[in-house]
């Protein structure tokens, strides 16, 4: 029964391939697709060659008719380019007359990629067609629109070959092995040979309105609404297109192919009639990691239902890019159903065991019993590099070779410098806009102000801190006398006592003097008036030395204070300049380029000193154990970090027993801490004082052009200037840390700064490769140590992270809640809602903590109620709105949580709810049905069964 092929035209005038299978008794006609796909050892189709198909009896392959069958005449075994485009591709997916069946291209995966596929169907042919399946999501919805390739375009055959993406790049081709569930996966061959980064105009999109989720920072993405691809934001990772007013909808998802991450961006130039052009960027993140062929670069799907389309498409994209499973296939941690309290906004990195009790006790006093406690940043043992632990005065002493007593005096009073400079910087930081690169670098100073205890610059604290305000002349005299006696005892050995050591003993000595002195009345009766003439010479000497010591220390303190104040003023001036000149400058502007060059050159020492003094972002992990602030349940923020043994297990047990907390999470960064792990290299900045058992090395980040375009300040980020301590084996790091936490009774972790690992991939095989190693190690360790999948992923909005979350089920939905900026509340909630369209297919989005006592507290409370995610606050002790909290929290500390992620309703999905001035943001979740709406006039929440 011969099968013959011929060309014909469809109703739109597109040239298509028709196959006719004929015999004296039967005949049928079907559309065939002839396309190059992934790699193969046979050349199955050559343009211009006559194709004849031989079929005997029933077709053995009921899924597809493969042109690679033995009956194909004129085939060759020579290899050919797996992505060489066909000049005359034909669409597939039409149904035989009267069959009523839909056909999709590449509906099933094969062990090898096929370079040419013909899809046929006929009800009377006896060919069985399996129902189409999508990756990891079960049967495809009836609303699915199957896509095919025809004439250099992605089309919808069931919609009379409506074009979705036209004018495909000549080097783009469909990967038929991976084109499943009705979608099409495009591969690409580099037109310029091996390269580490490639931009190509992948095609022209047919659309009316667009919803894009694009990275706006290294860590986060935000929604954008567009009616032109010229205005599409760079670093777009999710693009949902409304093709007509009531649908259909198309979805484009750039993928991760091996060591290359893809993203969408606008065309570089506006050209007449080119609205709709999309540029696909492929980059490894490392100049020495190059590629020339990518089998899976872009996923394209279509549907009448945008939510079904997103769920199906994102699941397929994740399976192709890193193996992340859909949210519906993951275990949600039970902590989601309990109300929580997080320490971050309450204490920032000054959190301590005493602070935990204060916060929980304050909530308990109002009848709120949190089931979840998140101990945020501040519990770990960290330190800056040794050169950054000294004040400028001590650094000057090194350069001038100052030794002996003057140097000891400088070191004894160095905290005066730190406190004075931070007091000035805190006042300036409080005026900086939250969320900006300057406003986020000093969260502790900006939010707690200069009243918080002096910052412990080193994890070991300062053992020589002296409160001179509490010392009077009698104390100084006693200290000096003690010093004189000690000096006499040690005179034979030639070892004297320093002024700093003498003063350090002053408090104890003055206490002893005060106890020994009689009451004033007895003094007047029993003690003769003193005079220097009446005292023996041995008693006069200590007094004169005490005066000298007091003067020296007063001068040192005054000098440190003045130096600190001047440093603070200089830093404040620098920050004001930065805020008004550098921060608002566009990427690639002269101001940005000049500042980047200065930051890496002449300003680098000053920038490193600023980061070390004012922030935590250059600190590195020195131990997987807790610091001294968790040495006992009442340990406060002023406890010596390293001088007191930690007892985190005791603290956690006390918290659970006293306050009934069921789940305790601890924060840590994906690289260990913000600047990674202290290096073990003896010659490195850390001097070899790394985490025991861990091998780490400093690697310097080099942001990709796309990251610099959206966040130019990454050019002088601490990871760029100070580097990141990268461990050789992240599995050992996470296993050691999580085992310790588990043994302490901790139930889970919040893992922050995840996208930053991709930033340092330039030195370690590329961002996609390094992120895969770290994310895989994290997922494995969490599965081993925390039953119930207790983890919150944070600062993780690069697809390098998202598509590798194979089992973890919760991730933050947007940038932080900024309590000092009430105006940021609406953008925050909108970002959470629209990002959840994308994220909700893979994870349960976490809409972040909020404050119950805040100008926008009711707005945030309603948003959390319909988010489907965790509900937790970060109130400072004593600052609560209990009336509001009781509307969210049940008496036992649990919450009523929507069973599905809250997402915008379809009528506002493509409306710019932040700028158009007329559209209400409506978010729907599902308990039965729960919907909240926000607008300029206020908000409302509606629930119905």
**In this predicted model, what pLDDT tens digit does every residue of 877-907 receive, in sequence order?**
999 999 999 999 999 999 999 999 999 999 9
Range of the domain at 574: 386-487+495-515+539-617
Question: Of 617, 633, 648, which closes a domain?
Answer: 617
Enter the tokens of residue 328: 């519906």
How far apart CA 215 and CA 798 sit, in angstroms, is: 7
| Confidence band of 254 (pLDDT split at 50, 70, 90) | very high
Q: Check whether residue 415 and residue 313 sit in a common domain.
A: no
At residue 584, the pLDDT reads: 92
Q: Indicate if 479 and 612 belong to the same structural domain.
A: yes
Answer whether 308's CB lies under 8 Å from 143's CB: yes
- Going 267 to 269 to 270 to 272, the CA torsion angle's sign is negative
pLDDT at 43: 28
Non-local (6+) Cβ contacts of 551 within 8 A are none
In this prediction, residue 657 has a pLDDT band, given cuts at 50, 70 and 90, of very high
Pick from 349, 375, 350, 348: nearest CA to 360: 375
Contacts of 873 (CB under 8 A, 6+ apart): 340, 341, 342, 849, 850, 851, 852, 880, 885
Q: Is 812 a member of any domain?
A: no
With CA atoms as reference, report the closest residue to 279 among 312, 320, 231, 322.
Answer: 231
**266 occurs within a structural domain:** yes
For the stretch 4-28, pLDDT in tens is: 444 444 433 444 443 333 333 333 3
Is 26 a domain residue? yes
Say whether pLDDT at 459 is over 70: no
3-class state of residue 258 by DSSP? coil
Let me know whether 449 and 317 are in one domain: no
Residue 23 lies in a domain: yes
Q: Does residue 456 carry a pLDDT above 70?
A: no
**Predicted pLDDT at 389:** 80
At 825-855, the pLDDT tens digits run 999 999 999 999 999 999 999 999 999 999 9
Categorize the per-residue pLDDT at 691 as very low, low, confident or very high, splitting at 50, 70 and 90. confident
**Residue carrying structure tokens 């069959």:** 99
Element (H, E) at 160: none
* Any domain includes 869: no
Number of domains observed in the structure of the chain: 2
Structure-model confidence comparison of residues 579 and 84, the more confident one: 579
Which carries the bigger pLDDT value, residue 262 or residue 3? 262
Span 501-508, average pLDDT: 45
Closest Cα partner for 177 from 270, 87, 247, 115? 115
The residue from 598, 617, 636 where one domain ends is: 617
Answer yes or no: is 390 within a domain.
yes
At residue 786, φ and ψ (nearest 5 deg) are -125, 95
* In a shared domain, residues 312 and 200: yes
Residue 911 lies in a domain: no
Contact 295, 257 (CB under 8 A): yes
CB 437 within 8 A of CB 583: yes
Same structural domain, 395 and 307: no
Contacts of 730 (CB under 8 A, 6+ apart): 773, 774, 777, 778
For 83-97, b/e burial (b = at least 16 CB within 10 A) is: bbbbeebbbbbbbbe
* Domain boundary pick from 564, 596, 617: 617
pLDDT per position as a tens digit, 230-250: 999 999 999 999 999 989 999
User: What are the structure tokens assigned to 657, written together?
Assistant: 């027993």
562 or 87, which is more confident: 562
Q: Do residues 244 and 208 make contact, with C-beta atoms less than 8 angstroms apart?
A: yes
- Burial of 70 by CB count in 10 Å (0-12 exposed, 13-18 middle, 19+ buried)? exposed
pLDDT at 450: 60
Alpha-carbon distance of 889 to 872, in angstroms, equals 10
Residue-wise pLDDT tens digits, 271-303: 655 789 999 999 999 999 999 999 999 999 999
Whether residue 502 is contained in a domain is answered as yes
The confidence band for 393, taking pLDDT boundaries of 50, 70 and 90, is low
The answer to whether residues 19 and 128 belong to one domain is: yes
Question: Is-above-0.85 flag for pTM?
Answer: no
Task: Compute the distance between CA of residue 935 and CA of residue 35 in angstroms, rounded to an integer.
Answer: 50
Looking at the structure, do residues 306 and 393 belong to the same domain, yes or no? Answer: no
Contact 237, 259 (CB under 8 A): no
13/120 same-domain check: yes
> How many other CB atoms are found less than 10 A from the CB of residue 525?
7
Output b/e per residue, 600-637; b: 16+ Cβ within 10 A: eeebeebbbbbbbbbbbbbbbbbbbbbbbbbbbbebeb
């Amino acid at each position: 029964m011969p099968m013959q092929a011929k060309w014909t035209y469809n109703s739109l005038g597109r040239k298509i391939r028709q196959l006719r299978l004929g015999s004296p008794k039967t005949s049928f006609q079907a559309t065939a697709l002839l396309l190059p796909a992934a790699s193969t050892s046979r050349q199955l189709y050559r343009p211009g060659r006559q194709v004849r198909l031989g079929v005997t009896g029933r077709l053995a392959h009921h899924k597809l008719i493969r042109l690679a069958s033995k009956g194909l005449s004129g085939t060759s075994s020579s290899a050919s380019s797996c992505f060489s485009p066909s000049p005359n591709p034909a669409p597939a997916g039409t149904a035989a007359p009267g069959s009523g069946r839909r056909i999709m291209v590449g509906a099933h995966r094969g062990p090898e990629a096929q370079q040419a596929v013909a899809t046929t169907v006929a009800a009377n042919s006896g060919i069985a067609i399996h129902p189409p399946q999508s990756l990891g999501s079960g049967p495809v919805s009836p609303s699915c629109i199957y896509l095919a390739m025809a004439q250099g375009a992605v089309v919808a055959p069931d919609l009379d070959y409506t074009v979705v993406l036209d004018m495909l790049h000549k080097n783009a081709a469909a990967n038929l092995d991976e084109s499943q569930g009705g979608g099409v996966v495009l591969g690409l061959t580099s037109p310029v040979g091996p390269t580490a980064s490639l931009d190509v105009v992948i095609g022209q999109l047919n659309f009316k309105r667009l919803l894009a989720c694009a990275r706006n920072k290294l860590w986060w993405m935000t929604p954008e609404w567009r009616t032109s691809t010229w205005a599409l934001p760079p670093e777009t990772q999710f693009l949902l297109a409304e093709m007509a007013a009531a649908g259909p909808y198309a979805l484009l998802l750039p993928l991760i192919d091996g060591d290359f991450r893809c993203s969408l961006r606008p065309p570089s130039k506006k050209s007449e009639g080119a609205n709709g052009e999309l540029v696909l960027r492929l980059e490894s993140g490392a100049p020495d990691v190059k590629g020339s062929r990518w089998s899976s670069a872009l996923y394209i799907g279509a549907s009448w239902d945008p939510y079904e389309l997103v769920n199906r498409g994102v699941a397929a994209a994740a399976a192709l890019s890193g193996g992340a499973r859909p949210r519906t296939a993951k275990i949600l941690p039970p902590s989601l159903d309990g109300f929580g309290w997080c320490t971050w906004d309450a204490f920032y990195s000054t959190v301590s065991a005493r602070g935990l009790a204060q916060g929980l006790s304050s909530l308990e006093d109002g009848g709120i019993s949190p089931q979840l406690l998140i101990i945020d940043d501040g519990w770990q043992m960290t330190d800056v590099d040794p050169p950054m632990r000294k004040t400028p005065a001590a650094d000057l002493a090194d350069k001038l070779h100052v030794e002996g007593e003057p140097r000891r005096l400088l070191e004894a009073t160095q905290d005066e410098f730190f406190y004075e400079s931070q007091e000035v910087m805190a006042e300036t930081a409080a005026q900086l806009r939250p969320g900006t690169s300057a406003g986020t670098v000093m969260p502790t100073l900006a939010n707690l102000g200069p009243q918080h205890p002096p910052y412990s610059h080193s994890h070991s604290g300062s053992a020589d801190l002296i409160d001179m305000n509490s010392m009077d002349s009698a104390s100084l005299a006693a200290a000096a006398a003690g010093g004189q006696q000690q000096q006499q005892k040690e005179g034979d050995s030639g070892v004297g006592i320093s002024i700093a050591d003498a003063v350090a003993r002053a408090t104890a000595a003055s206490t002893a003097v005060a106890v020994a002195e009689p009451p004033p009345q007895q003094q007047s009766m029993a003690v003769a008036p003193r005079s220097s003439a009446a005292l023996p010479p041995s008693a006069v000497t200590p007094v004169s030395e005490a005066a000298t010591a007091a003067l020296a220390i007063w001068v040192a303190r005054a000098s440190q204070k003045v130096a600190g104040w001047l440093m603070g003023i200089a830093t404040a001036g620098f920050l004001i300049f930065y805020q008004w000149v550098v921060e608002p400058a566009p990427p690639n502007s002269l101001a940005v380029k000049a500042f980047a060059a200065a930051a890496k050159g002449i300003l680098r020492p000053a920038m490193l000193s600023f980061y070390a003094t004012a922030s935590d972002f250059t600190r590195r992990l020195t131990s997987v154990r807790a610091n001294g602030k968790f040495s006992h349940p009442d340990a406060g923020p002023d406890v010596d970090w390293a001088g007191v043994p930690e007892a985190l297990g005791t603290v956690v047990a006390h918290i659970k027993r006293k306050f009934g907390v069921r789940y305790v999470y601890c924060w840590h960064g994906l690289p260990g801490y913000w600047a990674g792990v202290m290096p073990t290299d003896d010659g490195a900045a850390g001097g070899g004082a790394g985490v025991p058992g861990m091998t780490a090395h400093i690697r310097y980040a080099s942001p990709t052009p796309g990251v610099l375009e959206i966040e130019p300040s990454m050019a002088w980020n601490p990871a760029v200037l100070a580097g990141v301590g990268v461990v050789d084996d992240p599995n050992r790091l996470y296993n050691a840390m999580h085992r310790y936490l588990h043994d302490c009774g901790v139930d889970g972790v919040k893992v922050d700064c995840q996208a930053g690992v991709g930033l340092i991939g330039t030195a370690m095989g590329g961002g996609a490769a390094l992120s895969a190693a770290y994310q895989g190690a994290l997922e494995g360790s969490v599965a081993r140590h925390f039953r119930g999948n207790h983890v919150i992923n944070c600062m993780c909005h690069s697809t390098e992270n998202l598509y590798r979350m194979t089992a973890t089920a919760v991730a933050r939905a947007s940038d932080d809640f900024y309590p000092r900026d009430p105006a940021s509340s609406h953008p925050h909630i909108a970002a959470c809602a629209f990002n959840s369209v994308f994220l909700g297919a893979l994870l349960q989005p976490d809409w972040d903590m909020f404050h119950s006592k805040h100008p926008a507290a009711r707005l945030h409370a309603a948003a959390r109620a319909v988010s489907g995610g965790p509900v937790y606050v970060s109130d400072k002790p004593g600052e609560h709105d209990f009336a509001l909290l009781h509307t969210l929290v049940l008496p036992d500390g649990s919450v009523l949580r929507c069973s599905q992620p809250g997402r915008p309703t379809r009528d506002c999905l493509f409306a710019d709810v932040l700028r158009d001035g007329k559209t209400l943001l409506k978010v729907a979740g599902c308990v039965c049905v729960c919907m909240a709406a926000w607008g300029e006039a206020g908000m409302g929440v509606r629930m119905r069964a």
